[in-house]
Amino acid sequence: MLQFFSKYKPLAIVMAILSIIIISSIYTLLKPEKKLPVFQPDMVNSELVDTTVQFVRKYHKIADFNLQNQNGETITQDTYKDKIYVADFFFTTCLTICPIMTGHMLDIQERLKDDPDVLLLSHTVIPVADSVPQLKKYALEKGVNDAKWNLVTGDKKQIYELARKSYLATKSDGDGGPYDMIHTENFILVDKEKRIRGFYDGTNAEAIDDLLDDIEILKAEY
């Protein structure tokens, strides 16, 4: 009997290995690895997208920018080179959704404080009021970590074009001006190639958990 099993031992080992491979393959097919979509302007509510890019279906990326943060430092795409980041739009005197959004961004900051691959970026929609000193005051009051999170101000036209042509995250307020808008509650997840990979309700705690989960999925791509 022992000689019988000894004779077929190599075959048994091969069959066992094949069985493991087959079972693993079936599991992978039944539960494929999740991958985040790459959002294009034509996939987003047209109210949030400038008419010049509404029908773009591929190759959409965040445009280059040149803004100033709460410390008066110049912030550009190079600041976020090879980083995943979460962006939003706000203003420091907002009393409606902004305090909730800021609270949730602070939560993200805390939960990712030891992750050097992920940064945060908040754009004011009222740059004439939100000067560098005002942003600094706000940052100190809220507990913003300068190494992790930039609050930026700058040219109004540039910020508004970024909002509607790049981040696809704001609505025109209907006042008739070409650069008038109202910001939404959206947090935007941007990958290392400057592409939008997700939109999340910045006022919803469950959506923040989804965002953090999706960041881990996105990190697995690199």
Q: Is 98 annotated as a binding residue?
A: yes
Same domain, 61 and 150: yes
Rounded-to-integer distance, Cα 11 and Cα 99, Å: 66
Same domain, 69 and 132: yes
Over range 180-198, report the average pLDDT: 92
Q: Is the dihedral of CA 154, 64, 148, 94 positive or negative?
A: positive
Over range 200-214, report the average pLDDT: 98
Same domain, 92 and 194: yes
Using the predicted structure, report yes or no on whether residue 177 has a pLDDT greater than 80.
Answer: no
Same domain, 129 and 24: no
Over range 160-185, report the average pLDDT: 79
pTM to 2 decimal places:
0.84
Q: What is the pLDDT of residues 148-168, one digit of tens each?
A: 999 999 999 999 999 999 999
Exposure class string for 63-83: b at 16+ Cβ within 10 A, else e = eebebbbbeeeebeeebbeee
Same domain, 27 and 45: no
Q: Residue 15: which domain range? A: 1-32
In this predicted structure, what is the pLDDT of residue 191?
98
Same domain, 16 and 109: no
Over range 44-65, report the average pLDDT: 94
In this predicted structure, what is the pLDDT of residue 34?
83
The torsion of the CA quartet 198, 190, 88, 171, rounded to 10 degrees, works out to -60
Rounded-to-integer distance, Cα 161 and Cα 49, Å: 10
Q: Is 94 annotated as a binding residue?
A: yes
In this predicted structure, what is the pLDDT of residue 2?
47
Q: What is the pLDDT of residues 97-118, one digit of tens each?
A: 999 999 999 999 999 999 999 9
